[in-house]
Amino acid sequence: MGRGFRRKGEIEMEHGTPPNNEMISGKITQDIQLLKAIFDRSIDIVFREFQLGDVQTAMLIFLDGMVNTIIIDSDIMRPLLEYGETMLQKSRLSPNGLESLLQNQVITAAQVSSGERIQEVVDHVLSGDTVLLIDGVNKALFISAKGWGKRAVEEPATEAVIRGSREGFTEHLLTNITLIRRRLRTPKLKIEGLQLGQLSKTDVAIAYLEGIADDAIVEEVRKRVNRIDIDAILESGYVEELIEDNSFSIFPQVNYTERPDKIVANLLEGKVAILVDNTPFALIVPVTFFEMMQASEDYYQRYVISTLIRLLRYLFLIIALLLPSLYIALLTFHQEMLPTSLLLSAAASREAVPFPALVEALLMEISFEALREAGVRLPRPVGQAVSIVGALVIGEASVSAGIVSAPMVIIVSITGIASFIIPSYSQAITIRLLRFPMMFLAGSLGLYGVLLGVLFILIHMTRLRSFGVPYLSPIAPLHISDLKDVLVRVPWWGMIKRSTEVSKNNTRRIKGTIQPRPPKRGG
Amino acid sequence: MLDRGKISAGQAGALMFTFLEGGVAVIVPASATSFAKQDGWLTIIFAALVGIVVVLLFTNLGLLFPKQSIIQYSEIILGKWFGKIVGLLYVLYTFYLGSLVIGGFRDYVTTTALPRTPPIVVSGPLLFVIAYAVWGGIETLGRVNQLILPFRELIVMLTIFLLVTEFKWDNLTPFMGQGIVPVMKGSISVASLPFGETILFAMLLPNISNIQKVKRYYIVAVVFGGMLLTIAVLISILVLGPAIAARLNYPTHEIIKYIEKLGFLTDMDILGVLIWITSGFMKIAICYYCTVVGLAQWCRLSDYRSIVIPVGILLFIFSIVAYGTIMDDAVFASTIWPFFSFPFVILFPLLMLIIAKIRRLGGRKQKG
């Protein structure tokens, strides 16, 4: 069904630009004219003309701001001007062309390649390379002297930890790859690159561990990513929506993170990571529902603590989803379930409230969501003011004005906090959204409606798959050995095998028993 | 095969257990105690033995044709015309059973939880959710059941634990006070109602990946299901006494009201609705699924999904027509249903098994 949305005819983007199948002619004036026409009306393009020896005209083309001018000065211009004359004479005797002599003996920059087509020149200039054209030579040299303003590696803002690495991904793809590579010094780590987006030409990398990741999944990822044909990829969210299994589902089927250690941990479990240039968020596939409930810190803390925190998270997941609807159902349909004293105080506080419980809850929940959204979008100092006004002033005033009851304020606050306990933001937002249909069901059919809603959600989740892996595995379908890392987190010496659904061919991660024990006495 | 989804024998066994558990709330406790009074729990033990016989019968038959369901191999065994007729009867049996179960649970929810809600508002959304599960196929049913089952049994065990203080052991005496006859009468009724209905699982056999283990799992499911039903009836009698338990429509629901612990755990009976509805949900889903797949096989359709919604609408309407009131149903279940279901549960499978053995039909025989 989703296929119809993916491609609506061919995208017409080449419109207006001249055809660039032409080869470099070798006559520099002609080539320059063509290139200047292509880069018409662009203030950041630089054409630096100079003389190689006395007669030969040469030209450096680059985009100002995307190159490191120090490298251009010291490793390109200076050697060219110094040795240009000698090389020119040498080239008359040697069978090799002038450009290969320059490439091999003069230019000291690390990465140099050559090409013959105008389109290549354009592509390299746009990706930040410096292009050298020489009169009389029908080849161009592409010298890598990239350098632009980059954000330093900082602590990830969305996934803070108490214990664990403080490095987070940046917007620069190569930096991110380095952060992964530094944690996995093995040639088995494969990072395949490709470009997506007809206009943006965004670099995308698919990373996996050969021999651990399931080949079928890697091939499926490759296939789905290669199928993407769009004008631009600005964030990994574009890729996520274009590769997920069921695009009509509310549940996220692709995980994302800005923590390199999390990516590496997932690679070690046989997952595939997709890194996109210009965004610190890398994607992880395949993913299950339970993995989104895990934080990287679970594996760094001691296992008892991690297990308890994990159980707490599941409890609050249920609270985030169901608490308002349970409250509505109890107050509207099943008052007898409440203990008498609690019922009396709830009734007393609701006496002045003119709305039914459902309307009251909807009012509060929607204004809470609005407050949260306002807090996210506003500049930080203003955001604080909003939360103070929202939480304290409005909450307090609306209770004393008799618009909402005090228990409802408690319910909404607990629900709000509960939704923040879920580690994955996309998961949390799903749960928050599902709360609203549950509230309507509770308001119309009571607990029976809530039960039907929960059953519907569960059925939907069992039907979901992420790259062929059932969304609710390892509980449904059940894999008993994988339960060690779902509701509980067993100690590291117990994590003997990888997940069966993801890593099919290479499941063992620990050799023998490494459970620590004290040395034997007298031995 | 229409549904390419595969479930393991363990999942199929879990489905059967839930299917039997679906009888805990509705009809079974009442019909068990109405005949045998304080020995009601005993009737279920006898009935479970019948259930094991039924399972052995249809698994032995099904294992002769491991790639086909009862609708399909009835044609091979009984010939085209007679086989078609038997196949259609099975489809109608599952359909009728499905609509009765829907009716039962609809009444259960309206009387216990939502007294002022129109019954069709209760059964409509329920059927909608079930249709969504059936649309997903046997894999979805198996997985959802696997997901819910442990939590439900946990709550059931907790409920039993909280009720221990309410037990009055005198309620069980006199043991076999009226002799064995009422116990046997009750057993026939109970054997036909939840245990005989397991014949539906003959439809699921071709979807089981490790089919050789299925007999064991099915028998284990009947044993555990029988145990659960026995315990449920036993507790109803222990808490309420045989006279009240026999008179109440939903004794297993009413006993939950007796929980009064810690000052705030009172009137928890709505929890009973939640527990029993999840098992009733699976029971209806299996009836629904078997009807849909059976009909699709009978009509030789290429995909069963196209008839999920039409059959669902028919089930919805027929559940209103077929199911009158809880009193009608109780009488029906104890007097008519055992004789009505006898051919489907025992006669036809036995006949087919004998004919298949005589004619030396079936995969295993041909190999040997």
Q: Chain A closest CA to B264's CA: distance in Å?
A: 5
> Which residue on chain B is closest to A442 by alpha carbon?
B114
Percentage of chain B with pLDDT > 90? Answer: 24
pLDDT tops 90 at residue B213: no
Instruction: Look at residue A281 and tell me whether its pLDDT is greater than 90.
Output: yes
Judged by CB atoms closer than 8 Å, whether chains meet at B113 and A448 is answered as yes
Q: Which of B118, B134, B115, B180 is nearest to B281 (CA)?
A: B134
Task: Please name the helix (run of DSSP H) or strand (run of DSSP E) that holds residue A133, with its range, or none.
Answer: strand A130-134
CB contact (8 A) between residue A339 and residue B266: yes
C-alpha B361/C-alpha B176 separation (Å) is 46
ipTM above 0.85, yes or no: yes
Are residues B114 and A455, on separate chains, in Cβ contact within 8 Å? no
Q: What average pLDDT does the segment A489-518 reach?
A: 81
pLDDT at site A337 = 81
Structure confidence at residue A234 (pLDDT) = 92
A451: which chain B residues are within 8 Å (Cβ-Cβ)?
Answer: 273-274, 277-278
Distance from CA of B332 to the nearest CA of A (A): 27
Q: What pLDDT shows up at residue B362?
A: 67
Select the residue from A343, A454, A459 to test the B interface by mutation, using most B Cβ atoms within 10 A.
A459
Residue A1 has pLDDT above 60, yes or no: no
Residue A275's DSSP bridge partners are A205
Residues of A in contact with B277 (CB under 8 A): 448, 451
- Contact predicate B341/B196, CB 8 Å: yes
Residue contact A334–B113, C-beta within 8 A: yes
Average pLDDT over residues A277-287: 93
Q: Which residues contact A395 (CB under 8 A, 6 or more apart)?
A: A409, A413
- Note whether A459 contacts B270, CB cutoff 8 Å: no
8 Å CB contact of A455 and B125: no
Q: Is the pLDDT of residue A55 over 80?
A: no
How many whole angstroms separate alpha carbon B7 and alpha carbon B207?
Answer: 6
Output the pLDDT for position A522.
Answer: 63
Cβ distance A446 to B129 less than 8 Å, yes or no, reads no
Distance from CA of B223 to the nearest CA of A (A): 22
CB-CB under 8 Å, B146 with A445: no
Q: Could you give the percent of chain B with pLDDT greater than 70? A: 97
Is the confidence at residue A236, as pLDDT, over 60?
A: yes
- In this structure, which amino acid lies at residue A380? R
Amino acid at B195: F
Quick one: DSSP state of residue B261?
B
Has residue A153 got a pLDDT over 60? yes
Distance CA A175, CA A166 (A): 15
Dihedral sign (CA A69, A73, A79, A80): positive
CB contact under 8 A, A445 and B114: yes
Instruction: Say whether pLDDT at A181 is over 80.
Output: yes
Mean pLDDT of B310-322: 91
The residue ranking higher by pLDDT, B188 or A450, is A450
3-state helix, strand, coil in chain B (%, to 5): 80, 0, 20
Q: Which of A42, A32, A40 is nearest to A16 (CA)?
A: A40
Size of interface A-B (CB pairs under 8 A): 82
Q: Work out the minimum CA distance from B121 to partner chain A, whole angstroms.
A: 9
For the segment B84-88, the average pLDDT, to the nearest whole number, is 91
pLDDT, average across residues B62-83: 86
B121 shares contact with chain A (CB less than 8 Å): yes
Q: Tell me the per-residue pLDDT of A418-429, one tens digit each, with 9 for 90 and over.
A: 988 998 889 999
Residue whose token pair is 């038959």: B61
pLDDT at residue A10 above 50?
A: no
The yes-or-no verdict on residue B189 having pLDDT over 90 is no
Both tokens assigned to A344: 């009396």
Q: Which residues pair with A112 in a beta bridge?
A: A143
Read off the pLDDT band of B365 (50, 70, 90): very low
Mean pLDDT of A289-307: 90
B138, closest residue in chain A (CA to CA): A463
Give the tokens for residue A1.
């069904």
Minimal Cβ distance to B129: which of A334, A455, A478: A455
Q: What pLDDT does B363 receive?
A: 61
Of A447, A462, A463, the CB nearest to B147: A462
Taking CB atoms and an 8 Å limit, are B147 and A451 in contact across chains? Answer: no
Residue A512: Cβ within 10 Å count = 6
CB of B273 within 8 Å of a chain A CB? The answer is yes
Alpha helices in B164-255 (DSSP H): 181-190, 214-240, 242-247, 251-254
Nearest chain A Cα distance for residue B218, angstroms: 18
Place of tokens 């996210």: A376
Q: Do B122 and A445 touch (CB under 8 A)?
A: yes
- Residue A473: the pLDDT is 84
For residues A37 and A47, give the distance between their C-alpha atoms in angstroms, rounded to a whole number. Answer: 12
pLDDT at B316: 93
- Say if residue B220's pLDDT is above 90: yes
Q: Which residues contact B95 (CB under 8 A, 6 or more apart)?
A: B287, B291, B311, B314, B315, B318
* Residue A194: other Cβ atoms inside 10 A: 13
Rg of chain B on CA atoms, in Å:
20
- Taking the C-alpha atoms of residue A519 and residue A507, their distance in angstroms, rounded to an integer, is 30
- When CB atoms are compared, the residue of B121, B129, B268 closest to A337 is B268
A209 CB-near residues (< 8 Å, 6+ apart): A184, A186, A188, A189, A190, A267, A268, A270
Q: How high is the pLDDT of residue A96? A: 67
B111 touches chain A (CB under 8 A): no
* pLDDT over 90 at B314, yes or no: yes
Average pLDDT, chain B: 86
What CA–CA distance (Å, rounded) separates A105 from A91?
12
CB contact under 8 A, A476 and B143: yes
pLDDT of residue A493: 85
Measure CB to CB from residue A339 to each of B114, B129, B264 and give the nearest one: B264
Q: Considering CB atoms only, which of A447, A456, A475 is closest to B270?
A: A447
Q: Are A456 and B11 a contacting pair at CB < 8 A?
A: no
The percentage of chain A sitting over the pLDDT mark of 70, rounded to a whole number, equals 95
Calpha distance A159→A259 (Å, rounded): 7
Inspect the interface and report whether the beta carbons of A478 and B146 lie closer than 8 Å.
yes
- Output the DSSP codes for B264-327: TB---HHHHHHHHHHHHHHHHHHHHHHHHHHHHHHTT-S-SGGGHHHHHHHHHHHHHHH---HH
Give the separation between CA A31 and CA A328, rounded to whole angstroms.
Answer: 74
Answer whether A462 sits within 8 Å of B277, measured CB to CB: no
Whether B126 has its CB under 8 Å from any CB of chain A: the answer is yes
Cβ neighbourhood burial of B320 (10 Å; 0-12, 13-18, 19+)? middle
| Contact yes or no for A451 and B277 at CB 8 A | yes
Question: What band does A381 get if pLDDT is binned at 50, 70 and 90?
Answer: confident
| Overall average pLDDT of the B98-119 stretch | 88
The closest CB to that of A459, out of B129, B267, B274, belongs to: B129
- Interface contact B154, partner A, CB < 8 A: no
Contacts of residue B285, Cβ cutoff 8 Å, sequence gap at least 6: B130, B133, B134, B141
pLDDT value, residue A95: 65
Tens digits of residue pLDDT in A63-108: 988 888 888 888 888 888 888 778 777 777 776 677 777 777 888 7
Q: DSSP of B322-361, one letter per residue?
A: H---HHHHHHIIIIIHHHHHHIIIIIHHHHHHHHHHHTT-
pLDDT value of residue A263: 94
Looking at residue B249, what DSSP letter applies? Answer: S
Q: Residue A6's pLDDT band (boundaries 50, 70, 90)?
A: very low
Residues in chain B within 8 Å Cβ distance of A448: 109, 113-114, 122, 273-274, 277
Chain A contacts of B139, Cβ < 8 Å?
462
* Residue from A444, A448, A480 to probe the interface with B (highest B Cβ count within 10 Å): A448
Average pLDDT over every residue of B339-346: 87
Query: Maximum Cα–Cα distance for chain B, whole Å?
Result: 68
In 3D space, the residue among A244, A190, A246 whose CA is nearest the CA of residue A218 turns out to be A190
| Amino acid letter for position A385 | A
> Residue B290 to residues B12, B97, B279: CA-CA distances in angstroms?
13, 11, 17
Q: Quick one: closest CA in B to A454, which residue?
A: B129
Select the residue of B109, B147, B266 nearest A475 (Cβ to Cβ): B147
DSSP string, A407-475: HHHHHHHHHHHHHHSSS-HHHHHHHHHHHHHHHHHHHHHHHHHHHHHHHHHHHHHHH-EETTEETTTTT
